[in-house]
């Protein structure tokens, strides 16, 4: 975004604040969808159970969007409320809250520097082995959510990597207790409900949730030209200059606003990261890398994952 446009939108942006009313409505809405999904999933009838799993998967996707808002402290005006809601949301999308928040903060600082951003450094261009290409390509073509699994495990559940990234004693202690909390809660659920019941009620829903997350997450920065620091000392790109390193999918308005809470407006989010996502639709601006979700998905699926993930459109000529 050029400086003139950025400055012209500033007064408009300054009025878009977090609101208690909207935050509470979003929580109540997602809780209602979750309750409906769990209620249907408790049925012993396949005809009721399967729709319940789909509804619960959508709720998990929404909890991920809520977690994203809480991590930016934009769901509510108060920090404590965002932290509490973020912990609650993180349970439903399988991510430890503080690891998510701190890694995501670094992502916003270093977006555009592929080998410094902790969420993209794993896909620095390199020569892949034959089995890596095979697995990546098969999973991408079939829709198996390998990326969403690796994204979670490597960025937010990789304890030793988190230990290296955050050398502050307080943060390390917080991450450790966060892990204890989640593993303890999961163990308690399995003991109290039984492993089969936990899997029956939430297993398929969580897998569908990962399948939904896979293309949405991959759409945001993948196959877009980014810079490589290559060990040099570099400066972060300012938020308004990060638009060129991001992409936004264009979904139907109702889906964008009431299912994703504008999580798909990724370029605007990077330009104005402290603006509540649920208010981004009020900004009169169409980002330069916006593309219809189905057009993007068709084009992206036509590219082998080994090329799609580890290269960019300048090198391949694919117009994504």
Residue 16 confidence (pLDDT)? 86
Q: Using alpha carbons, select from 252, 282, 254, 286 the residue that is nearest to residue 16.
A: 282
Q: Which residue range(s) make up the domain with 139?
A: 3-316
Burial of 286 (0-12, 13-18, 19+ CB in 10 A): exposed
Residue 190 confidence (pLDDT)? 87
Q: Distance (Å, rounded) from C-alpha 151 to C-alpha 147?
A: 6
Residue 28 confidence (pLDDT)? 97
41-77 per-residue burial string, b: 16 or more CB within 10 A, e: under 16: beeeeeeebeebbebbbbbbbbbbbbbbbbbbbbbbe
pLDDT band at 21; cut points 50, 70, 90: very high
The rounded mean pLDDT for the chain is 93
Residue 175 reports pLDDT greater than 90: yes
pLDDT one-digit tens code per residue, 209-256: 999 999 999 999 999 999 999 999 999 999 989 999 999 999 999 999
For the record, the structure tokens of 169 come out as 């004693």
pLDDT band at 296; cut points 50, 70, 90: very high
pTM of the model: 0.93
Q: Distance (Å, rounded) from C-alpha 104 to C-alpha 212?
A: 20
Residue 14 reports pLDDT greater than 80: no
pLDDT band at 286; cut points 50, 70, 90: confident
Residue 305 confidence (pLDDT)? 95
For the record, the structure tokens of 274 come out as 């402290």
Higher pLDDT, residue 15 or 55: 55
Residue 11 reports pLDDT greater than 90: no
pLDDT one-digit tens code per residue, 100-144: 999 999 999 999 999 999 999 999 999 999 999 999 999 999 999
Q: Distance (Å, rounded) from C-alpha 237 to C-alpha 240?
A: 8
Residue 276 confidence (pLDDT)? 94
Rounded to a whole number of angstroms, the CA Rg of the chain reads 20
Residue 318 confidence (pLDDT)? 87
Q: Distance (Å, rounded) from C-alpha 51 to C-alpha 43?
A: 10
Residue 5 reports pLDDT greater than 80: no
Residue 186 confidence (pLDDT)? 87
pLDDT one-digit tens code per residue, 32-45: 999 999 999 999 99
Domain count, the chain: 1
Q: Using alpha carbons, select from 206, 215, 296, 196 the residue that is nearest to residue 260.
A: 215
pLDDT one-digit tens code per residue, 72-99: 999 999 899 999 999 999 999 999 999 9
Residue 105 confidence (pLDDT)? 96
pLDDT one-digit tens code per residue, 273-283: 999 999 998 88
Question: CA torsion angle for 215, 218, 222, 227 (degrees, to 10)?
Answer: 160
Q: Which residues partner with 249 through β-bridges?
A: 291
């Amino acid at each position: 975004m050029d400086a003139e446009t950025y400055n012209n939108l500033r007064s408009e942006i300054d009025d878009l604040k977090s609101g208690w009313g909207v935050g509470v409505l979003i929580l109540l809405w997602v809780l209602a969808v979750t309750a409906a999904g769990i209620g249907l999933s408790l049925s012993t009838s396949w005809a009721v159970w399967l729709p319940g799993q789909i509804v619960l998967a959508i709720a998990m996707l929404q909890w991920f969007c809520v977690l994203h808002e809480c991590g930016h402290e934009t769901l509510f005006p108060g920090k404590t409320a965002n932290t509490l809601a973020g912990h609650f949301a993180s349970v439903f999308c399988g991510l430890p809250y503080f690891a998510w928040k701190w890694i995501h903060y670094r992502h916003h600082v270093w977006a555009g520097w592929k080998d410094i951003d902790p969420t993209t450094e794993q896909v620095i261009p390199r020569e892949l082995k034959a089995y890596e290409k095979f697995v990546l390509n098969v999973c991408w073509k079939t829709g198996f959510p390998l990326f969403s699994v690796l994204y979670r495990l490597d960025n937010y559940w990789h304890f030793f990597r988190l230990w290296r990234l955050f050398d502050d004693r307080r943060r390390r202690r917080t991450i450790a207790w966060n892990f204890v909390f989640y593993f303890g809660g999961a163990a308690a659920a399995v003991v109290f409900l039984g492993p089969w019941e936990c899997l029956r009620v939430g297993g398929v829903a969580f897998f569908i949730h990962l399948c939904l997350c896979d293309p949405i997450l991959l759409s945001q920065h993948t196959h877009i030209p980014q810079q490589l620091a290559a060990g040099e000392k570099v400066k972060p790109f300012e938020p308004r200059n990060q638009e060129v390193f991001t992409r936004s999918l264009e979904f139907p308005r109702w889906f964008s606003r009431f299912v994703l809470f504008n999580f798909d407006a990724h370029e605007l989010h990077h330009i104005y990261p402290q603006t509540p996502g649920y208010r981004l639709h009020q900004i009169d601006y169409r980002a330069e890398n916006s593309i219809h979700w189905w057009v993007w998905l068709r084009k992206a699926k036509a590219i082998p994952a080994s090329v799609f993930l580890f290269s960019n459109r300048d090198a391949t000529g694919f117009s994504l």
